[in-house]
Chains A and B, each alone.
With several copies, the nearest count.
Chain A
Amino acid sequence: MKEKNQERRLGQFLVNNKAIVIFLFLAIVLSFATDNFMTKTNLLNMVRQVCVMSVMSVGFTLILASGSIDLSVGYMLGLVGVFCALISKIAGLPVILVLLFSILFGMFLGFCNAFLFLTFKMPPFIVTLSTAQIFRGVTHLLCDGTPVSGLPDAIIAIGQDYFLGIPVQIYIMVIVAVVMAVFLRSTYLGRHAIAMGGNEEAARVSGVHVKRMRYIVYIIMGACVAIAAIIMDGRVASAQPTAGAGMEMDAIAAVVIGGTPLSGGYGNVLGSVFGCLIVGLINNGLNILNVSSYWQWIAKGALIIIAIMLDVQTSSLIKATKKRKA
């Protein structure tokens, strides 16, 4: 009896987190297709490759779940990255302050986005598309368009070092994801964000402070972007002004693949992380199989479609069998 219950729970879990199933499926296919895939190094590689994106996607899960959008996060990443490098290089601040100020700066940028569209009642889509351009310009002004190198060792360590055989950035990513998952599931702020995404008007009449909640959501997104920017800086040992460009679309795609709907009202952090892993796995796998870059684009597009297709088909299959049983 108990076993059956557990079985059913596992089943339910997998239905809700189909990204995991897709991921496992692709991983199994790849490990048969090539010898180089199922090595510890390569698997760690793959996870490391999506750390930056994952941290960003975790923030984006909150944004989408709350029924909003932020298209500025790509260029925001570049801006915070350059800011971080400059304050440590020029101002020569101690590392801990550099990290703190960078995260505060990210939160500030998120705040600016929210401030603009809340105060002037504009659509977030247009506001963040525009601030993206502003961030891009400011980044290039700050560093005159050239990458900033000479980061302190501690930041490089964040992007490159290992702790107990596992890259430091993976710990950070996991911590960010866990914090966000708990936030969404078990704090009233998280529930309010989701309620607002499900039906803003209903949330408002239930006493949710919608405006304040929007600020919180965008500030948290800013913090996630800042953390991603720091990891990125460490990973490439320099701050690239063009880093992050276009990453917002990858992040949205990963989040949607992970099961969070664009329309809001539900957020699945674990799904988002696995969404990123799926994208990473496809990139890594195609490289290992030495698919040429033109075919790689095609394969990537096709694989994502097939993965989601399988997902949709299996879940309707599951529903159908369930019904027959009932």
Chain B
Amino acid sequence: GCGSGETDKEALPAAEDDKGMQDAKDTGETDQAGDAKDAKADSAQLLIGIACYSADEYQKSWLDTFEAAAESKGNIKVVSTNADANVEKQVSDVESLIAQNPDVIILRAVDADGLAASVDACVSAGIPVVASSYEVHNDKISAWVGANQKDNGILQGEYLQGILDANPDMKMNLCYIWGGFGLTGTQERYDGLIDPFVNKLKADGRGELLAEKAGNWSASDAMALTEDWIQSFPDMNVIVCQNDEMAAGAANALKAANVDMEKFYLLGIDGSANGQQYIRDGLIDATIWTDLNDEISTNLDVAVKVAGGETYKEPVYLNSYKLMTKDNIDELLGSK
């Protein structure tokens, strides 16, 4: 899967839609009988090291949820590091984690190539690695767990496509706000929207991508961008953002310029607390919410199994990304 490069992933297109995939754990390839190790893991305390991507709101709540889940299991201890979205720092972080000799390391990699060597280092220190949510280009990982970042963009595209289909006369003039450049995650989010949706949009003559800029994950930068776009693109009617804070900033600018929000489509990603409020207020039309409880429990399961000596030859795909709109927000939040 993602563990062994891009080709593998494309070879498994069905897996992305397979909701039951997380249950289809391929334990057949386990090197040793898992039972003995499992027993050991149950009695002794298990140490899980997590190399986090950054300490922003989403990443932090991911870690918090994980720690809570681990605590509820009782005999698991978690040590974590924060890379501040910096590859070099994460390489150092993994080294620090290795020094503490955990039973397994969950790697939420800032860059697929940049952390490849760190996996080697872990493996040669006898510590198995679970890649979580983000790709790592190294065959030696014991498992890959997560939803595809690309899904964020794909879901955004599907939502917009639905609106286009419902309004046959409508044209979409779209602006895109990046978080930052040069990180695996942002590129995939972007590609997920562009490849299927925007390209089709252009081909169909139903609209175009007017502009794309970096908003640095910041509400105020996105707000300034939107203010300027309102001036230069009066016919802009869609803004897609790489996170909810930037979408909120854009919403502020649109509202201040008295843009008719009924006819404007504003999309974010994350489903953060602030983002949910904006959805309820009808300012943000849709966001991509992550079902963390689902995601975390799978991550934890896989980590414990890997610590027990198992390896997963196939990626464990989750579909924890869900489209969140005003219509389904209560349903989604209630479902946990």
Contacts and interface: CB of A to CB of B under 8 A. Distances in A.
B182 A288 contact: no
A144 B60 contact: yes
A42 interface: yes
Interface in A137-160: 140, 144-147, 149, 156, 160
B299 interface: no
A170 interface: no
Nearest to A143: B182
B181 A238 contact: no
Interface residues of B, number: 63
Given A41-B231, A45-B92, A236-B111, A290 B79 contact: yes
A243 B88 contact: yes
Nearest to A293: B82
Contact of B92 (A140, A238, A243, A283): A283
B245 A240 contact: yes
Nearest to A140: B181
Given A36-B100, A49-B224, A287-B93, A140 B231 contact: no
A243 B220 contact: yes
Contact of B99 (A39, A144, A240, A242): A39
A264 B182 CA distance: 36
Nearest to A53: B88
Contact of A52 (B81, B96, B137, B220): B220
A145 B218 contact: no
B269 to A, nearest CB: 15
A147 B58 CA distance: 11
B277 A39 contact: no
B225 interface: yes
Given A140-B55, A146-B274, A240 B182 contact: yes
B223 interface: yes
Nearest to B187: A146
B114 interface: yes
A293 B180 CA distance: 10
Given A49-B92, A236-B87, A149 B137 contact: yes
Interface residues of A, number: 37
A156 to B, nearest CB: 7
B220 A232 contact: yes
Nearest to B283: A237
A110 interface: no
A160 B220 CA distance: 12
B68 interface: no
A241 B274 CA distance: 13
A294 interface: yes
Contact of B91 (A39, A235, A283): A235
Interface stretch (B29-37, B208-216, B317-325): B208-216
B219 A238 contact: yes
B12 interface: no
B182 A145 contact: yes
Given A147-B113, A288-B231, A235 B223 contact: yes
Contacts of B114: 147, 236-238, 240
Contacts of B16: none
23 contacts: A45-B95, A45-B98, A45-B231, A48-B95, A48-B227, A145-B55, A145-B181, A146-B272, A147-B87, A147-B111, A236-B88, A237-B248, A237-B252, A238-B219, A240-B87, A240-B88, A240-B220, A242-B180, A287-B93, A287-B228, A290-B211, A290-B232, A293-B214
